[in-house]
Amino acid sequence: MSLETLNERVKTDLSYLAYGGADWVRPLSHPAGHVYDVVIVGGGQSGLGAAFGLLRERISNILLIDENSEGLEGPWETYARMVTLRTPKHLTSVDLGIPSLTFRSWWEAQNGAESWEAVDKIPRGDWMDYLRWYRRVLDLPVVNEVRLELIEPGEDGIHRLHISGAGAPKEHLLARKVVLATGIQGGGEWHVPPMVADHLPKAMYAHTSEDMDYTFLRGKRIAILGGGASAFDNANYLLSGGAAEAHVFVRREQLPNVNPIRQMEVSGMIERYHTLSDPEKYAVISHFFKFNQPPTNDTFARAAAWPGFQLHLGSPWLKVEAIGDKAVVTTPKGEFSFDFLVVSTGLLSDPGLRPELRQVESHIARWSDRYEAPSGEANALLDAHPYLSPGFALQPRTEEGRKFVHGLFVFNYSALASCGLSASAISGMKNAVPKLVAGVADQLFTDDREEILSAFYAYHEVEFTGVWPLKTLD
């Protein structure tokens, strides 16, 4: 099968499902311009999947915006430095149950059916190429190089989105619903410890989330802080790019060797997480946080095979300082000097860290507003997560704040506490997207229920035209 043949198969499959039927959402007019039913912020895998899900529900007055250039959405061609995805290849995601839209179908159309068996894990670049194809074959309405600067809530239930960028058609967009499909960092910010940020010039360090050309580090001696998968991805990336040494520092005495995601994938936890009580959800995610996702075995072996690789266990950084042109790191096991530091310490999730939410964040409920963990079990990182509905909708701290957050949906990594492994995780996508779409569609319907019910009761279009007794021909 060729890719052209697969494209036709996708169209045929969708036609059998009556894809593309007439919208049911009533159009709204506004003196300030066109009102979208939904604007999705983010054109990566989460945003694309959400858009397809909405179109399947006959909600087509939508728009996706992404701050990156076309084809560079998400992390895959920027700061993601793994060789392959960590997710098992057989797990489906944004295809939403359409076999012809799966990665496997796309792969086999180009490489043959027998080639699939030879794939261990999906190569990172091929995953990005698949997402580019997915966007094209579904003709999803994405506008690139558009950055969301501010969400301004309106008294009329319509949000004004202030935007900028070369692709921005105007200074603002109007939307009834806004989906923040903004990736792993979109619910907060990447974390750089103050001991690094406050004591080194920025030219001497970078977070792993930064899109950097590391060629300037050829021949250099580099330290990486963190023991998760990304630390080893970056070590391999740096060494394969010509770095002389890459030292990974881990505070634990041994690397984590359990990946709870694998258990969640087979236990029903991902699919049925929404049925858990708040105390159960809190306990699950607190437990999840204890296991920093370990590197895959092949990732570790790839990094460790380099002559310049060093692993320092039980070695938290106690002090960092600049001495001359070197970054000097002090650990319980000694002092080390490096040319550059790479920080792989993850992120913080808190709506208060997002500049685009500055007009509404004070009204957004956090987990600390809705649940108080037992003494000794509280987790400040989890407490700061937004408290969401099962359909990913923001919830208000008070009833007075409801009008400010109504219509805003969070489909990024900060949904973890409320909705489990979902947005920004390929493993959770096939279950999360339908829940998000249902949440958005339910809200649109509920907002308009008076008009919809009124039209229902007033409906008198004659359909049956039969008469009795039947007329007979003389």
| pLDDT for position 10 | 98
* Per-residue pLDDT band at 296 (split at 50, 70, 90): confident
Q: Give residue-wise pLDDT tens across range 119-147.
A: 999 999 999 999 999 999 999 999 999 99
Q: Give residue-wise pLDDT tens across range 146-190.
A: 999 999 998 788 999 999 999 999 999 999 999 999 998 899 999
| pLDDT for position 424 | 80
Q: Give residue-wise pLDDT tens across range 238-256.
A: 999 999 999 999 999 998 8
> Taking residues 107-116, what's their average pLDDT?
94
Q: What is the 3-state secondary structure of the chain?
A: CCHHHHHHHHHHHHHHCCCCCCCCCCCCCCCCCCEEEEEEECCCHHHHHHHHHHHHCCCCCEEEEECCCCCCCCCCCCCCCCCECCCCCCCCCCCCCCHHHCHHHHHHHHHCHHHHHHCCCCEHHHHHHHHHHHHHHHCCCEEECCEEEEEECCCCCCEEEEEECCCCCCCEEEEEEEEECCCCCCCEEECCCHHHHCCCCHHHEEECCCCCCHHHHCCCEEEEECCCHHHHHHHHHHHHCCCCEEEEECCCCCCCCCCHHHHHHHHCHHHHHHHCCHHHHHHHHHHHHHCCCCCCHHHHHHHHCCCCEEEECCCCCCEEEEECCEEEEEECCEEEEECEEEECCCEEECHHHCHHHCCCHHHECEHHHHCCCCCCCCCHHHHCCECECCCCEECECCHHHHHHHCCEEECCHHHHHHHCCECECHHHHHHHHHHHHHHHHHHHHHHCHHHHHHHHHHCCCCCCCCCCCCCCCC
Q: What is the overall mean pLDDT for the chain? A: 94
* Per-residue pLDDT band at 295 (split at 50, 70, 90): confident
| Res. 452: pLDDT tops 80 | yes
| Entry pTM | 0.94
> Taking residues 355-368, what's their average pLDDT?
97
| pLDDT for position 102 | 97
* Per-residue pLDDT band at 358 (split at 50, 70, 90): very high
> Taking residues 62-88, what's their average pLDDT?
94
| pLDDT for position 212 | 78
| Res. 470: pLDDT tops 80 | yes
| pLDDT for position 35 | 97
| pLDDT for position 473 | 75
| pLDDT for position 239 | 96
| Res. 474: pLDDT tops 80 | no
* Per-residue pLDDT band at 260 (split at 50, 70, 90): confident
Please report, rounded to a whole number, the percentage of residues in the chain having pLDDT higher than 90: 86
